[in-house]
Amino acid sequence: MTGETPHFDEMLRADGSVREPYDEFCAWYSSQDAARLRTKARDAENFFRRTGITFAVYGEEEASERLIPFDIVPRIISGREWARLSRGIEQRVRAINAFLYDIYHRQEILRAGRVPVELIAKNDAYLPQMIGMDPPGGIYTHIIGVDIVRTGPNQFYVLEDNARTPSGVSYMLENRETMLHMFPELFRKNKVREVSDYPRKLRRSLAASAPRACNGAPEIAVLTPGIHNSAYFEHSFLADQMGAELVEGHDLRVIDGRVAMRTTQGYRAIDVLYRRVDDDYLDPLTFRPESALGVPGIMDVYRAGGITIANAPGTGISDDKAIYSYMPEIVEFYTGEKAILENVPTWRCSEPDSLAYVMEHLHELVVKEVHGSGGYGMLVGPAANRKELAAFRDKLKARPGNYIAQPTLALSTVPIMTRQGLAPRHVDLRPFVLVSPNGIDITPGGLTRVALKKGSLVVNSSQGGGTKDSWVLDE
């Protein structure tokens, strides 16, 4: 293994011995011809290219469609580690759903002073239109992606919650399909838990969340903004895998109190709409009047119980990064238990003392926009130059409430294939969670994103990161 790192290495101990989850893999790897593995890596890239697994990069005129780099070395998690992670994820997801119900109803957590009122009242992600609204089955967040980082053998932190329209599950599925095709012998040597049943589970979970107006088998559709959206491949992939219709706003209209989609046999009512369109664009009669992506009148149908929208409008308040800093209190308030998974320590720049600390230690910290995503609008202090630090100080002075800051964690590393052999790179993990009135289902593993540049902590695909297959061993 080339390169040394002071960070927690998920494959190797400090003395160079192999950690147990990687035993079978390392034995297999040591018997492989390096040239064969390099050929396999190129084959995997060609497979992704043929399949059309790309993402769009906004703000770039050239090469707006990019191939997400895929690394053929799996990230391996033991069954014991996964059991603990799963308990923490389930606890957190239950708390998020309870929090959303509460802030759109009695607001007990605000009355108790556990979360500041202004953090909700002045938040753009909070939708007054959802006040008093009971979504079908009481579920707000049908699909959640929880971003987790690791810093030690038993140290896992939640980096952020994705409760609006979490993406990346198609890459998780295609990564596994590619590995099964390329290296079937590895799956005979390792008992790896299945992820390929996610689309079936997603359909079943959405169907269980059907509204009162549903008669018979629920009709499910996926609402996409269209082919220019960065995650369009995923929208079409999931619709196809679920056997659901892929629709755009112009395919839908409100007829007799139901949202109906255009078909070759006329319009057919939809029961559950898995939307990949942001709140602001869902209904031009309720939100942005200029929106051509949504459906005029869909919010009226929703309030009347005529359709389930997954995820519910207004869920974005729960993955706001300022709200994130209160998640330990939120978990304890609604579950009566201490959070199993810790938050990353967070400074709220809206607070004068925190802002002063962040200004003084900017070169040491990671600073993020409270509504930001995809690695945009953030500063990684240790990697920034003087000019970048000075520019970000001006941003903080102008809009301190728009930012939070966190320490630069010593993220764990896993091996990737390089021309020189295996080398450690930093990773995070996004497990995908399905929530319905029937319960919570957590896909074993999820999407591992990897920073392909040596020493980089930024794993986002839009910022040069790649992905790899995540294995949870069945022990």
**What is the rounded distance in angstroms from the CA atom of residue 168 to the CA atom of residue 234?**
7
Low-confidence ranges of the chain (pLDDT < 50): 1-5, 57-63
Q: pTM score, two decimals?
A: 0.91
Start-to-end CA span in the chain (Å): 27
pLDDT at residue 59, as a whole number? 44
Which tokens is 432 given?
Answer: 């995908």
**How many Å separate Cα 105 from the centre of its chain?**
27
**What is the rounded distance in angstroms from the CA atom of residue 359 to the CA atom of residue 457?**
21
pLDDT at residue 380, as a whole number? 86
Enumerate the H helices of 74-149 as residue ranges: 79-103, 108-111, 117-121
Instruction: Write out pLDDT tens, residues 338-373.
Output: 999 999 999 999 999 999 999 999 999 999 988 765
Buried b (16+ CB within 10 A) or exposed e, 193-230: bebeebbebbbebbbbbbbebbeeebbbbbbbbeeebb
pLDDT at residue 52, as a whole number? 66
pLDDT at residue 53, as a whole number? 65
**What is the rounded distance in angstroms from the CA atom of residue 444 to the CA atom of residue 187?**
15
Q: How many helices (H) and strands (E) does the chain have?
A: 14, 23
DSSP 8-class letter at 9: B
SS3 assignment, position 411: coil
> From the CA atom positions of the chain, what is the Rg in Å?
23
SS3 assignment, position 473: strand
Residues of the chain with CATH 3.30.1490.270: 345-407
Instruction: Write out pLDDT tens, residues 120-167.
Output: 998 889 999 999 999 999 999 999 999 999 999 989 999 999 999 899
**What is the rounded distance in angstroms from the CA atom of residue 178 to the CA atom of residue 467?**
12
How many angstroms separate the Cα of 2 from the Cα of each of 287, 415, 422?
A: 54, 10, 6
* Closest residue by Cα to residue 278 from 375, 164, 123: 164
Residue in this structure with the two tokens 């130059």, named with its chain if needed = 385
**What is the rounded distance in angstroms from the CA atom of residue 165 to the CA atom of residue 319?**
11
Q: Rounded to 5 degrees, what angle do the CA atoms 169, 218, 288 make?
A: 65
401: CB partners within 8 A, 6+ apart = 322, 349, 350, 370
Q: Would you tell me which CATH number, out of the four given (3.40.50.620, 3.20.20.70, 3.90.180.10, 3.30.1490.270), belongs to the domain 345-407? A: 3.30.1490.270
Asked whether 147 and 432 are in contact (CB, 8 A), the reply is no
**What is the rounded distance in angstroms from the CA atom of residue 118 to the CA atom of residue 137?**
29
How many angstroms separate the Cα of 419 from the Cα of each of 2, 5, 33, 71?
A: 10, 19, 13, 12
Which tokens is 386 given?
Answer: 């003087």
- Beta strands 245-247 and 220-223 are parallel
**What is the rounded distance in angstroms from the CA atom of residue 435 to the CA atom of residue 43?**
36
- Beta strands 266-269 and 155-162 are unpaired
Q: Rounded to 5 degrees, what angle do the CA atoms 168, 11, 417 make?
A: 65
pLDDT at residue 320, as a whole number? 87
Beta bridge partners of 470: 75
Q: What is the DSSP string of 186-229?
A: HHHHS-BPP-TTHHHHHHHHHHHT--TT--SSPPEEEE---TTS
User: Helix-strand-coil percent breakdown of the chain, rounded to 5?
Assistant: 35, 25, 40
pLDDT at residue 457, as a whole number? 73
The verdict on whether omega for the bond into residue 311 sits within 30 degrees of 0, i.e. cis, is yes
- With 0-12 / 13-18 / 19 or more C-beta atoms within 10 angstroms meaning exposed / middle / buried, residue 267 is middle
